[in-house]
Amino acid sequence: MRVLLTRRDLALSSLGCVVARVAVAQSFPGRPIQLVVPFPPGGGVDAVGRTLADPLAGVLGQAVVVDNRAGAGGAIGVDFVAKAVPDGHTLAITSPGNMTIGPAVRRTPYDPLALGFVTMVVRSPLLLVCRNGFGARDLAGFVALLKRQPDAIRFASGGVGTATHLAGELLNLRLGVRMLHVPYRGTAPALTDLVAGNVDIFFSDASALAMVQQGTLQLLGVTTAAAWERVPEAPPIASVVPGFDVSNWYGVVAPPGTPAPIRARLAEAIGQILARADVTERLRSLGFTPAPLPLDAFAAFVRAEIDTWRGVVQAANIRLD
């Protein structure tokens, strides 16, 4: 038997779908939300997650419980969320290490692009710092020195495949040079050796700013395309190396298949929180700038970042032993 649908039937069907989607969004959330932080307590991702939790609970009318699930560079926590029920009640705070840079250097049990994107939350630059007594006093002088004798410059990193490593490799590629990479097990030992003069430069997170202010390190520039409001006098590296743009960022994702209306509701709520003066001040004290992005824009950003870092990893022949 053949059923013919009229235009009116199709219109009513489409209207029914719209009404159903709106109803889903309006009834959400129906229970407490689990916000997975895929790193141990005390780090930057954890601090941002806890900064969001209470205000988000106030906006949504349900408790938001922070759940630290650390391991494998953040992959364990994100994989837990990737396998959760896609109803918006299980979310993860993500970062380059488990969404863009990490998947470029190692296989992850989830597809980052299959996740339900909600919104970017914050961004911050890396700081290009150098030891005292280094042969350059500013960014232009550093680039000139790097072009003259790249093999003599030792750049530290927090480990192979980290953002601090790949920022240096990206600079190598942009300038067609090769600095000597010296990997450490984290930011703290890299900064210690930099202050001691055992290495020359380091792409650090905001924790190096205190050392710059104390005069034990020099700040040459920032890795974002625009200047950073906390140190507006530090020039972007892109001002002398066109196209250089690296940032640390954190965002919120949901399981694959989470309905768009629910993700839009979450993005709207987080946007409201990030517009609050007290939340903004707290994030800035941690070294971050609020940077909400709509669902589609956040997904496009992650896709472009994956392409960039995959290209860097391949060109620099980076391998994890």
Angle between helices 277-285 and 260-274 (to 10 degrees): 80
pLDDT of residue 163: 87
Contact between 274 and 121 under an 8 Å Cβ cutoff? The reply is yes
pLDDT of residue 19: 43
Using one digit for the tens of pLDDT, what is the confidence trace for 303-320?
Answer: 999 999 999 999 888 876
Torsion angle of alpha carbons 100, 104, 106, 109, nearest 10°?
A: 50
- pLDDT exceeds 70 at position 2: no
**Is 252 in a helix, a strand, or coil?**
strand
pLDDT of residue 268: 97
pTM of the complete model: 0.80
Instruction: Dump the DSSP string for 103-124.
Output: HHHS--SS-GGGSEEEEEEEEE
pLDDT of residue 238: 96
Using one digit for the tens of pLDDT, what is the confidence trace for 87-112?
Answer: 999 999 999 988 998 888 888 999 99
Average pLDDT on 164-188 reads 92
Evaluate the CA torsion angle 210, 213, 215, 218 in order and state its sign: positive
Average pLDDT on 216-235 reads 94
Using one digit for the tens of pLDDT, what is the confidence trace for 150-161?
Answer: 999 999 998 888
Angle between helices 295-316 and 260-274 (to 10 degrees): 90
pLDDT, the chain, mean: 90
pLDDT of residue 12: 56
Helix (H) / strand (E) containing 92 = strand 90-94
pLDDT of residue 13: 53
Q: What CA–CA distance (Å, rounded) separates 188 from 193?
A: 9
- pLDDT exceeds 60 at position 39: yes
Reported confidence tier of residue 138, pLDDT bands at 50, 70, 90: very high
pLDDT of residue 44: 83
- pLDDT exceeds 90 at position 270: yes
- Provide the CA 253 distance to its chain's centre, in angstroms: 12
- pLDDT exceeds 90 at position 287: no
Q: What CA–CA distance (Å, rounded) separates 78 from 99?
A: 9
pLDDT of residue 21: 46
Reported confidence tier of residue 71, pLDDT bands at 50, 70, 90: confident
pLDDT of residue 145: 95
Average pLDDT on 103-129 reads 94
pLDDT of residue 17: 41
Q: Domains in the chain, ordered, with CATH?
A: 32-123+248-316 (3.40.190.150), 127-239 (3.40.190.10)
Average pLDDT on 139-154 reads 95
pLDDT of residue 5: 56
- pLDDT exceeds 80 at position 261: yes
| Cβ-based neighbour number of residue 76 at 10 Å | 16
Average pLDDT on 43-61 reads 94
Average pLDDT on 133-140 reads 93
| Cβ-based neighbour number of residue 170 at 10 Å | 25
Instruction: Dump the DSSP string for 255-305.
Output: -TT--HHHHHHHHHHHHHHHTSHHHHHHHHHTT-EE----HHHHHHHHHHH
